[in-house]
Amino acid sequence: MNIAIVHDWLTNVAGSEKVLLALKEIFPDATIFTSVFDSKKAAPFKDFDIRTSVLQKLPFMKSKRELLIPLTPFAFEQFDLSKYDLVISNTSMAAKGVITKPETIHISYCNTPPRYLWDPSVDPRAKSGSFQFLRRNVIHNMRIWDRLAADRVDHFMTNSHYIAKRIKKFYRRDSAVVYPPVDISNFDLDDSVKRADNYLYAGRLINYKKCDIVIQAFNKLDLPLHIVGSGPDEAYLRGPANKNIKFLGRISDEDLRREYQSAKALIFPAEEDFGIVPIEAMACGTPVIAFDKGGATETVIDRETGLFFDQQTLESIVESVKSFENIKFDQSKIRQQAEKFSKEIFKENISREINKILN
């Protein structure tokens, strides 16, 4: 069977690229098609058979990637996939829009319907000048194309029930839920690391991640908080932070593991499609205090592996932290929950779903 895997663009290594790597392990002979490929920023893919689109040759491919967005539908429609029996698109943009033969099976692992089309308020690119240009001039037509492109998919899969609802809303399609792979091999329980008194936030410092309300809450609680990560809002967030809040910036994987292992709990205030950070924390036996919406509701078990707060407000976080202080958690059970989302489990689950379709 000839297999093609289609990916939006390969310009870094984040969650969707981890899915792509796992798919390549399942189908080692598959050819990868993508709009653009940066071999330096996506180094794990440099030795694979990768076919890029005409967009690869554009001079602003690396510096102004947002400007490529209106061109991606055209780019993916130009790929010749006529010799492939199975096409798997791994996408949160336009890769699902490839054109296949009637007899070719097209499975789309949809990480989310494009945020910049259907929910721009939580897309980190929404405030950029290039995005505003797109919004004024082409977004409406791109929504029409995106809706039509979804009809080219034979079977949808996705990373959470939360996103399955979005696919149903925007595309009127059902989708099988296969939780994405999280590399927990670097995160583990370590009895030699003592739990400290501090709480932890880990993630990008950008508006929709809601780190600001965590800072407000811990200013009021006057409890130690470590903040790991960087982003465009860092200077703004540092301003109101009291001395009990420590900004660590971007740190190594080893230091991140130590932060997870020593923290009392991870604070996860964002409404995410899935959320990898809570899984990494739980792999270290660390409970998670999370917002009660989005993917975290499918990975964190209330009062077993963490706690939920129901509003993205400082008051709601304060109350949850106070409640957390009176609950005991079993680190080994927390670790067991994280193991349900390993790469090996993902490969088993998605292989089973694909085999159901093929057979």
Which parts of the chain have pLDDT scores under 70? 60-64, 121-137
Q: Are 79 and 147 within one domain? A: yes
In a domain, 203, yes or no: yes
What are 123-165's pLDDT values in tens digits? 555 555 555 666 666 888 999 999 999 999 999 999 999 999 9
Q: Are 66 and 78 within one domain? A: yes
**Side-chain half-sphere exposure of 207, counting CA atoms within 13 A:** 8
Q: Are 302 and 233 within one domain? A: yes
- Which residue in this structure is represented by tokens 């499918």? 298
Q: Are 232 and 266 within one domain? A: yes
User: What are 33's strand-pairing partners?
Assistant: 6, 51
The sign of the torsion formed by the CA atoms of 299, 304, 305, 307 equals positive
Q: Are 330 and 304 within one domain? A: yes
pLDDT at 14: 86
Q: Are 32 and 174 within one domain? A: yes
In a domain, 214, yes or no: yes
Residue type, 332: S
Q: Are 121 and 134 within one domain? A: yes
In a domain, 259, yes or no: yes
Q: Are 325 and 353 within one domain? A: no
pLDDT at 1: 94
**Side-chain half-sphere exposure of 240, counting CA atoms within 13 A:** 13
In a domain, 191, yes or no: no
What are 253-273's pLDDT values in tens digits? 999 999 999 999 999 999 999
Q: What is the largest CA-CA distance in the chain?
A: 63
* CATH number of the structural domain spanning residue 53: 3.40.50
Q: Are 312 and 204 within one domain? A: yes
Total domains present in the chain: 2
Q: Are 334 and 347 within one domain? A: no
In a domain, 186, yes or no: no
Q: Are 214 and 265 within one domain? A: yes
pLDDT at 134: 63
pLDDT at 126: 56
In a domain, 192, yes or no: no
What is the domain range of residue 161? 3-181+343-358
Spell out the SS3 assignment of 294-334. HHHHHCCCECCCEEEECCCCHHHHHHHHHHHCCCCCCHHHH
Instruction: Please tell me the pTM assigned to this model.
Output: 0.89
* CATH number of the structural domain spanning residue 253: 3.40.50.2000
In a domain, 224, yes or no: yes
In a domain, 189, yes or no: no
Q: Are 78 and 144 within one domain? A: yes
